[in-house]
């Protein structure tokens, strides 16, 4: 509860008090940060990883907070997750580096007019009857050279197929996934994996993956799929969410399609001593 009250940042864009509280209840490994017998903040500590730091007013010296916390824990801290921008520069100066910066984006589900699909393409539901091999090849082609593959690494065929099947299972109760096919070849050239998961807080819909084969980009296919999912989600939910890596050009597309970004948050890790100046 303290983290939700004092962080003043809804990084998951839940827009709901109870959902924000539940989002930080997954562990009992919660610790107060104390100065001269007074609580000045707190943290979650899972092994060598810290999460959800917060300060308690009137204490507001974030430099002092991190100096004291990291000084007391020493080399036991290797990673810090959910780092807000106001803390990122402080941690950079203390031997940490950003591994990835992410942002959750939300849009109202839409019942407005649909965008027309470009000539030569057709839109189809993506479900258990779809050829997963073709979708797997499409996603690999769409993501090759992307910022996400650069940061997170390129998955093996087995991992990629497992991820696709996992998402279809998560969205089984309300699958909103679609793909766009080239009418001439019949092959999928764009895909958007989306749906409402059973455990999704507030019943929000979620877009997990979206990609278009490089040779078919620039024809409004990704934007059409985004609007289609928002339109299809409207009978079941008020909000559609996605998460984007900051620096991914796709963020501009999402904004154009009506998605509003929340605060950015980073995963930071301690730099090896050999890399520290």
Show the domains of the chain with their CATH numbers: 2-94 (no CATH), 106-261 (3.40.630.30)
In three-state secondary structure terms, 180 is: strand
Q: Rg of the chain over CA atoms, in angstroms?
A: 21
pLDDT of residue 273: 62
pLDDT in tens, 207-254: 999 999 999 999 999 999 999 999 999 999 999 999 999 999 999 999
Q: How many residues does the chain have?
A: 277
Tokens encoding 138? 């499409």
Cα dihedral sign for 129, 133, 136, 138? negative
Distance, CA of 97 to CA of 156 (rounded, Å): 27
pLDDT in tens, 82-131: 999 889 999 999 999 999 999 999 999 986 777 899 999 999 999 988 99
Q: What angle do CA 269, 200, 168 make, to 5 degrees?
A: 90
Distances (CA, A) of 265 to 7, 84, 93, 227: 12, 5, 17, 26
Q: What is the pLDDT of residue 205?
A: 97
Instruction: Write phi, then psi, for 51 (nearest 5 degrees).
Output: -145, 155
The answer, yes or no, to whether residue 4 has pLDDT greater than 80, is no
Q: What is the pLDDT of residue 275?
A: 53
d(CA 106, CA 207): 10
Q: Residue 66: exposed, middle, or buried by beta-carbon count in 10 A (0-12, 13-18, 19+)? A: buried
């Amino acid at each position: 509860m303290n983290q939700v009250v004092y962080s003043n940042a809804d990084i998951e864009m839940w827009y709901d008090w109870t959902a924000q509280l539940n989002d930080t209840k997954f562990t009992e490994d919660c610790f107060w940060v104390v100065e001269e017998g007074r609580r000045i903040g707190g943290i979650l500590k899972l092994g060598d990883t810290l999460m959800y730091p917060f300060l308690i007013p009137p204490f507001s010296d974030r430099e002092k907070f991190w100096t004291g916390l990291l000084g007391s824990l020493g080399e036991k801290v290797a990673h810090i997750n959910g780092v807000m921008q106001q803390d990122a520069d402080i941690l950079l100066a203390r031997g940490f580096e950003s591994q990835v910066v992410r942002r959750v984006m939300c849009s109202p589900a839409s019942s407005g007019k649909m965008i027309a699909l470009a000539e030569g393409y057709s839109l189809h539901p993506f479900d258990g009857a779809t050829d997963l091999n073709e979708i797997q090849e499409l996603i690999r082609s769409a993501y090759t050279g992307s910022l996400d593959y650069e940061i997170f690494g390129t998955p093996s065929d087995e991992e990629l197929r497992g991820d696709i099947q996992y998402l279809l299972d998560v969205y089984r109760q309300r699958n909103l996934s679609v793909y766009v096919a080239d009418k001439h070849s019949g092959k999928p050239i764009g895909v958007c994996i989306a749906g409402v998961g059973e455990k999704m807080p507030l019943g929000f819909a979620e877009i997990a993956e979206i990609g278009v084969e490089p040779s078919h980009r620039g024809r409004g296919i990704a934007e059409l799929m985004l609007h289609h999912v928002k339109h299809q989600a409207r009978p079941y939910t008020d909000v559609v969410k996605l998460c984007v890596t900051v620096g991914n050009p796709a963020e501009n597309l999402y904004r154009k399609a009506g998605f509003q970004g929340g605060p950015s948050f980073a995963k930071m890790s301690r730099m090896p001593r050999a890399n520290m100046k």
